[in-house]
């Protein structure tokens, strides 16, 4: 018998059952089938020793480290590894209140395959879907004899790699993803019955990104590091409005207080202030590097940057906008923005970033950065400043990257053993 592949969870012909019973610990698990209610994929099991009937998270996506189980008879939660409530709370809630609402799925078939690997990217958070989707390249490359089937929320259709055998576009918004959709499960089960062999891709939360080619997803090539010095310096600012750069403790404190008091209108002053901070950063960069040009993106009403920056902000997202923003990132030596999943695509395309990392996000550092480099460039190209950083400090880092990128690369990554 060969060692099981750790990156595949078998569903068919035999369902994964290599774990102890969550109740009595016996390893006599009888596997009966799968359930695909939405974000989670679960196995339907019975313990041969104590008779417990239960559903258990298959170890994919965020359940890789924390597969929880639910007792069929009483809806009781088994959480042996101590998963945090955000991982199992919504699951249990959904299980107890299943929905028979119709869920539209569009099945796109590019290649017929009887042996498939299924990658489920459904999630309730924007960045989680992207990160799960980025698993696709490894599965395409490692299992060329299998067809990759990607379950994808429709809003990400433009990022589906054309090499996938099938893409199932699911009409669920992020906020709806946590439901327990019986009709979606029925649709999936019907599909699975048609294949000879099915494995689940792990859908790791943080797939390796060095070597990951974003062009295989978006069809737009990333910034070419070999041309760093040859291209005129361009910097893109990502201006999100729901998490702001304050540049002072007082600013953040006041913004929080205004929001608490329900005075969001007054809080908008801080959105305008963030624009001022970004403009001051641009001017500080241009004083030293007069050739520098800028783009600003974000979900917001455009305006206010004059001739200083190309303003691609909009309040309505569509595929054309997504692509225009990606083109801007792909021309960028550096992207600048506040921490969050909004930085994943910018860093996937740009050569480097300077990120404002709020104090309460310190535990999430780098989770939102697409780390393009395998070597010491990682320490050079991805810079973090705290939320009190002034425009001069951010500009200083951007200029440092522009000026020293090539020499650092030569000295640290080329002429070395
Ligand atoms: Zn048992």
Span 32-43, mean pLDDT? 97
Say how far apart CA 267 and CA 258 lie, in whole Å: 6
| Predicted local distance difference test score (pLDDT) of residue 162 | 97
| Predicted local distance difference test score (pLDDT) of residue 13 | 96
Task: Compute the distance from residue 148 Cα to the ligand 1 centre, in Å.
Answer: 35
Span 321-350, mean pLDDT? 97
If pLDDT is split at 50, 70 and 90, which confidence band does 246 have? confident
Task: Compute the distance from residue 36 Cα to the ligand 1 centre, in Å.
Answer: 24
Q: List the Cα angle 76/79/80 in 5-degree steps.
A: 130
Task: Compute the distance from residue 193 Cα to the ligand 1 centre, in Å.
Answer: 29
User: Could you tell me which residue, 197 or 261, shows the higher pLDDT?
Assistant: 197
Instruction: Name every residue whose Cβ is closer than 8 Å to that of residue 69 and which is 6 or more positions away in sequence.
Output: 22, 54, 55, 56, 57, 77, 78
The answer to whether 170 and 152 have CB atoms below 8 angstroms apart is yes
| Predicted local distance difference test score (pLDDT) of residue 264 | 67
| Predicted local distance difference test score (pLDDT) of residue 266 | 63
Strand pairing report for 42-47 and 53-57 = antiparallel
Query: Does the CA dihedral 164-122-347-313 come out positive or negative?
Result: positive
| Predicted local distance difference test score (pLDDT) of residue 240 | 85
Task: Compute the distance from residue 21 Cα to the ligand 1 centre, in Å.
Answer: 5
If pLDDT is split at 50, 70 and 90, which confidence band does 1 have? very low
Span 100-118, mean pLDDT? 97
- For 61: left if phi > 0, alpha if psi spans -120 to 50, otherwise beta; the answer is left
Residue 368 predicted with pLDDT over 60: yes
Question: pLDDT for 180-226, tens place per residue?
Answer: 999 999 999 999 999 999 999 999 999 999 999 999 999 999 999 99
Task: Compute the distance from residue 49 Cα to the ligand 1 centre, in Å.
Answer: 5
Task: Compute the distance from residue 26 Cα to the ligand 1 centre, in Å.
Answer: 5
Task: Compute the distance from residue 22 Cα to the ligand 1 centre, in Å.
Answer: 7
Question: pLDDT for 150-159, tens place per residue?
Answer: 999 999 999 9
Residue 86 predicted with pLDDT over 90: no
Which of 160-164, 257-261, 312-316 is the least confident region? 257-261
| Predicted local distance difference test score (pLDDT) of residue 207 | 95
Task: Compute the distance from residue 416 Cα to the ligand 1 centre, in Å.
Answer: 56
Task: Compute the distance from residue 222 Cα to the ligand 1 centre, in Å.
Answer: 51
Taking each helix axis as running N to C, give the angle between helix 264-288 and helix 391-409, from 0 to 180 degrees, rounded to the nearest 10.
50
Query: Does the CA dihedral 191-197-201-202 come out positive or negative?
Result: positive
Say how far apart CA 60 and CA 122 lie, in whole Å: 11
At 276, list the tokens.
């001022």
Say how far apart CA 391 and CA 281 lie, in whole Å: 5
**For residues 39-75, b (16+ Cβ closer than 10 Å) or e, as one string?**
bbbbbbbbbeeeebebbbbbbbbbbeebbbbbeeeee
Task: Compute the distance from residue 54 Cα to the ligand 1 centre, in Å.
Answer: 10
Residue 64 predicted with pLDDT over 70: yes
Task: Compute the distance from residue 40 Cα to the ligand 1 centre, in Å.
Answer: 23
Residue 2 predicted with pLDDT over 80: no
Task: Compute the distance from residue 46 Cα to the ligand 1 centre, in Å.
Answer: 8
Burial class of residue 317, CB neighbours in 10 A (0-12, 13-18, 19+): exposed
User: Could you tell me which residue, 65 or 259, shows the higher pLDDT?
Assistant: 65
Centroid of chain to Cα 152: 12
Task: Compute the distance from residue 47 Cα to the ligand 1 centre, in Å.
Answer: 5
Task: Compute the distance from residue 24 Cα to the ligand 1 centre, in Å.
Answer: 4
Residue 354, H or E segment: strand 352-357
Strand pairing report for 293-297 and 234-238 = parallel
Task: Compute the distance from residue 187 Cα to the ligand 1 centre, in Å.
Answer: 31
Instruction: Name every residue whose Cβ is closer than 8 Å to that of residue 222 and which is 6 or more positions away in sequence.
Output: 213, 214, 215, 330, 348, 349, 350, 372
Task: Compute the distance from residue 9 Cα to the ligand 1 centre, in Å.
Answer: 22
Span 80-91, mean pLDDT? 87
What global pTM score does this model have? 0.95
Task: Compute the distance from residue 38 Cα to the ligand 1 centre, in Å.
Answer: 27
3-state secondary structure labels for all residues of 138-154: HHHHHCCCCEEEEEEEH
Task: Compute the distance from residue 8 Cα to the ligand 1 centre, in Å.
Answer: 25
All residues with CB under 5 Å from ion ligand 1: 21, 23-24, 26, 47, 49-50, 52
Which of 25-39, 74-88, 192-206 is the least confident region? 74-88
Residue 395 predicted with pLDDT over 90: yes
Task: Compute the distance from residue 299 Cα to the ligand 1 centre, in Å.
Answer: 51
DSSP 85-125: HHHHHHHHHHHHS-B-----EEEEESS--SEEEEEE---SS
């Amino acid at each position: 018998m060969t060692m099981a592949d750790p990156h595949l969870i078998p569903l068919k012909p035999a369902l994964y059952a290599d774990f102890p019973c969550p109740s009595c610990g016996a390893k006599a698990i009888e596997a009966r089938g799968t359930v695909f209610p939405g974000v989670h994929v679960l196995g339907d099991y019975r313990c041969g020793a104590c008779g417990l009937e239960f559903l258990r998270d298959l170890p994919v996506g965020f359940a890789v480290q924390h597969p929880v189980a639910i007792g069929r008879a009483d809806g009781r939660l088994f959480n042996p590894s101590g998963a945090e409530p955000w991982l199992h709370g919504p699951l249990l809630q959904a299980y107890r209140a299943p929905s028979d609402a119709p869920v539209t799925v569009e099945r796109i078939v590019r290649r017929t395959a009887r042996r498939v690997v299924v990658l489920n990217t459904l999630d309730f958070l924007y960045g989680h879907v992207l990160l799960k989707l980025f698993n696709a390249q490894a599965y395409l490359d490692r299992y060329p004899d299998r067809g990759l089937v990607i379950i994808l929320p429709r809003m990400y259709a433009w990022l589906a790699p054309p090499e996938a055998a099938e893409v199932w576009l699911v009409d669920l918004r992020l906020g709806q993803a946590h439901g327990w959709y019986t009709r979606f499960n029925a649709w999936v089960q019907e599909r699975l019955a048609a294949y000879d062999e099915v494995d689940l891709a792990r859908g790791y939360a943080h797939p390796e990104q060095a070597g990951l080619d974003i062009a295989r997803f978006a069809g737009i090539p990333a910034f070419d590091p070999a041309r760093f010095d040859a291209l005129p310096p361009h910097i893109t600012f990502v201006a999100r409005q729901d998490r702001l750069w304050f540049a002072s403790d007082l600013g953040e404190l006041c913004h929080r207080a205004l929001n608490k008091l329900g005075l969001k209108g007054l809080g908008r002053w801080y959105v305008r202030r963030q624009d001022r901070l970004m403009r001051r950063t641009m001017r500080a960069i241009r004083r030293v590097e007069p050739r520098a040009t800028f783009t600003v993106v974000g979900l917001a009403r455009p305006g206010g940057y004059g001739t200083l920056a190309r303003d691609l902000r909009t309040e309505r997202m569509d595929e054309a906008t997504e692509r225009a923003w990606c083109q801007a990132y792909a021309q960028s030596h550096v992207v600048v923005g506040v921490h969050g999943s909004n930085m994943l695509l910018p860093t996937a395309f740009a050569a480097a970033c300077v990120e404002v990392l709020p104090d309460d996000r310190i535990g999430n550092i780098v989770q939102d950065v697409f780390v393009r480099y395998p070597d010491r460039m990682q320490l050079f190209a991805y810079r973090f400043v705290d939320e009190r950083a002034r425009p001069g400090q951010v500009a200083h880092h951007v200029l440092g990257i522009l000026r020293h990128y090539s020499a650092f690369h030569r000295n640290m990554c080329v002429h070395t053993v």
